[in-house]
Amino acid sequence: MKRLSIVASAFVALALAAPARAQGPGSGGDPVKGKVVYERYCLSCHGELGNGAGEFAEWITTKPRDYRQGTFKWRSTPSGSLPTDADLDKTIRDGIYGTFMPTWYAIGEHNRRDVIAYIKTFSARWKTDKPQPSIVIPAEPPYSDASVKRGRAVYEKSNCAQCHGQDALGDGPSAHELKDDWGNPIVPYDLTQGHIKCGDTGSDIYRVFITGLNGTPMPSFTDSISPEEAWDLVHYIQSLSALYPKNYGPAAAK
């Protein structure tokens, strides 16, 4: 009987421990350990107070994230939502292309998990709010000439050129007057580079116009672009890059 109850309590302990482990990348970290990681690797840019005003910030554009509002650009969650832990882990692991935010692959998942828990202490939003469920990205249909053409029509219909420009070089009529939520000037991305800031896959591009980039003028088009149109738009953007190894689209035709 006694042995049985030991076995039973072991099961209870396992069951209690299981959810923490099942939460996935970036979850369940220790903020006390995370503070040490932060002070070693992040403070020089993101600042002691998490306000994005570390000693390098002055010399850097785009500015390091100010964590106090709980506003994050790269999320799998709808516009206005907090990111998931996995979203933060992906950003921190891969870095942000074309900016001073490096990849932190080398510090390992444990350190990233702890530093994520510490970053959350800078904004009360993490106590009062929860990330909404991630958007569903349907499987990518095949890339084709016809899809690229339809994508160009979606680009025109949605007025992307207002900011990104006719040829998507980031030079639209509004390009030079945009500011982010922190009051810093921000330029629309040059979509012909063959990389976006946070990821290179079709799904990474898809995600951006459905979730928008919180804290920036880049809006969410979830109400005006259907999933089929969104994939066409992805193919149009891919076609603009000489890096995309397909003989289709305006970039390849030049």
Give CA–CA dist 240/169, Å, rounded: 10
Q: CA angle, 110 as apex, 67 and 125 as ends, to 5°?
A: 25
Q: Which of 209, 220, 248, 249 binds ligand HEC (CB under 6 A)?
A: 209
* Residue that is written with structure tokens 């490096």 in the block: 102
The answer to whether residue 231 forms part of the interface with ligand HEC (CB under 6 A) is no
Sites for ligand HEC among residues 91-130 (CB under 6 A): 91-92, 96, 99-101, 104, 115
The answer to whether residue 159 forms part of the interface with ligand HEC (CB under 6 A) is yes
- Binding string, residues 2-31; x marks residues near ligand HEC by CB under 6 A: ------------------------------
The answer to whether residue 240 forms part of the interface with ligand HEC (CB under 6 A) is no
Distances (CA, A) of 134 to 16, 29, 79, 130: 25, 21, 11, 12
The answer to whether residue 47 forms part of the interface with ligand HEC (CB under 6 A) is no
Nearest to ligand HEC of 113, 248 (CB atom): 113
Residue count, binding to ligand HEC (CB under 6 A): 46
| Least distance to ligand HEC, CB of residue 233, Å | 5
Residue 251 contacts residue 192 (beta carbons within 8 Å): yes
Distances (CA, A) of 20 to 13, 30, 31, 136, 153: 12, 12, 15, 24, 46
> Which residues, including other chains, have CB under 8 Å from residue 97's CB and lie 6 or more apart?
195, 196, 197, 198
Q: Which of 122, 221, 231, 248 binds ligand HEC (CB under 6 A)?
A: 221
The answer to whether residue 244 forms part of the interface with ligand HEC (CB under 6 A) is no
Give CA–CA dist 185/129, Å, rounded: 29
> Which residues, including other chains, have CB under 8 Å from residue 109's CB and lie 6 or more apart?
25, 26, 89, 93
Residue 77 contacts residue 87 (beta carbons within 8 Å): yes
Q: Which of 113, 150, 197, 235 binds ligand HEC (CB under 6 A)?
A: 197
Distances (CA, A) of 162 to 6, 122, 152, 173: 67, 35, 14, 6
Nearest to ligand HEC of 164, 235 (CB atom): 164
| Least distance to ligand HEC, CB of residue 246, Å | 18
Nearest to ligand HEC of 205, 251 (CB atom): 205
Give CA–CA dist 113/26, Å, rounded: 4
| Least distance to ligand HEC, CB of residue 162, Å | 5
Q: Rule CB under 6 A: which residues touch ligand HEC?
A: 41-42, 44-46, 56, 60, 62, 64-65, 72-74, 88, 91-92, 96, 99-101, 104, 115, 158-160, 162-164, 174, 178, 186, 188-189, 191, 196-198, 205, 208-209, 213, 216-218, 221, 233
